[in-house]
Structure 1
Amino acid sequence: MTRPVLLVRLRPGVVGESRRVVHVVPVPAGSAVPAVLVAYCGARIPPGAAELLPEPAGMPCTACLLRAPLPRPDRLSAGD
């Protein structure tokens, strides 16, 4: 089973505009809030530094896309 993911982007002012890429972060296990979020690319995102995106928007982090697990073909819908 593929783990659910979050799409997050660092907030304006945390990094320059050209570095505000969309990271793919596995949803943390358990109910406790983690000290940092760790994206598939290895980026460590501290609390309050990022915005949660409800859908894909903006430039993706290429390293996250290359390292994120692909969904199983039987879990893809063909017309939604």
Structure 2
Amino acid sequence: MSSTLPMEAEVAALIVEALHLEVSPEEIELDAPLFGEGLGLDSIDALEIALAISRRYGFQLRSDDERNGRIFASLRSLAAHIEKHRTR
């Protein structure tokens, strides 16, 4: 099992906080799917996460972005995308 990078831990905490999940950030597996099987999130959850990311990191995740499937595939992929595009 790989170790969690600081940004991955931060994004896990953001997800738990934004969605009021009843799991700890440490329980979110880095490579498990965030939607459907895995964490079990849905499209409304994606909107909430995108809003929280916009507020905290200063950039927009657009609902019509064809890369969303890859961006939101897992905690690891979402954290990497945020790290690359954040403005704050």
| TM-score under structure 1 length normalisation | 0.28
Q: Higher helix fraction: Structure 1 or Structure 2? A: 2
Q: Rg: which structure is higher? A: 1
